[in-house]
Amino acid sequence: MYKINVAVLFGGCSEEHTVSIKSAMELAANIDTEKYQPFYIGITKTGVWKLCEKPCLDWERYAEYTVVFSPGRNTHGLLIQKKNGYEPQSVDVVFPMIHGKFGEDGSIQGLLELSGIPYVGCDIQSSVICMDKSLAYTVVKNAGIEVPDFQIIQNSDNLDTEKFIFPLFVKPARSGSSFGVNKIEKAEDLCTAIKEAKKYDRKVLVEQAVSGSEVGCAVLGTGTDLIVGEVDQISLKHGFFKIHQEAQPEKGSENATIQVPADLPAEVRERIQETAKKIYQTLGCSGLARIDLFLREDGQIVFNEVNTMPGFTSYSRYPRMMTAAGFTLSELIDRLITLALRR
């Protein structure tokens, strides 16, 4: 029986390296190996690509061969470095399970477009826009959806604190999983928070905190043919949601609980889903994305951010929302690969 060759990329050079490995581990445990032949390619923190048997936290110990994607469309796949040269391996589709920088910012998408190989997820343009929160805010606001007040800080720019009311969030414009994000209550803490954010990106946002709860919606599909998962809702004990930075996220968050489906009236959940679909289409997303929103106390929905390759870990929100809507992880993986092959 012919199997579809799927190259699964994981790891990467960003601060979300470990999250990516855990996502790939879940994919490996749930992909239909009767239908698909996976090739697992781990990317080290220094950017070396290696072929390995399966993703695991210490995968580098078991990775023997260095690999690259050929940008030449005549290869349509991998070049595996062996003793006597490079051995080609054809690939039908790529599942780039890489979160954050170089995974969700259009970089890997550009390489795959050059190679002519279909891939799961958003294209170059939508990846670039969604990765940069200031660009995403601008596009979404122009579509008539409310976004938080924000100011971009670059280099030695001076912050106009008078336009904001504390508390504020200071965050890297192009980072994920809440790395480099701080919630500040007073002006004296701004400089320290900006320095922390700049460890992850030279472009920093200072953003007005939104009073209300954080909600999210998983979206699957392309164009107008979209499926949405159940809405989830985050309840915070203190601080802000940053489960991927916690010591044992598999055991649950230290400061938050996630409820899916959200304990909200059906009409409110439907408004959230419709807003998520509008944002997804406005930003040109395809394949999948998790749309994060705020539900203000007055019932107004405010855009937060988009994750174009959301986590697939056991504690990640996207698969949990889709599971609540009736999709197993195996079914979700199959649909995503099928969508990619139709590009």
Residue 266's Cβ-count burial label (10 Å; 0-12, 13-18, 19+) is exposed
CA distance 216 to 261: 10
Nearest to 230 by CA among 299, 312, 290, 302: 290
CA distance 302 to 271: 12
Known catalytic residues? 19, 22, 99, 244, 250, 290, 311, 315
Dihedral sign (CA 71, 73, 74, 78) = positive
CA distance 215 to 231: 7
Beta strands at 168-172 and 203-208: parallel, antiparallel or unpaired: antiparallel
CA distance 18 to 14: 9
The DSSP symbol for 296 reads E
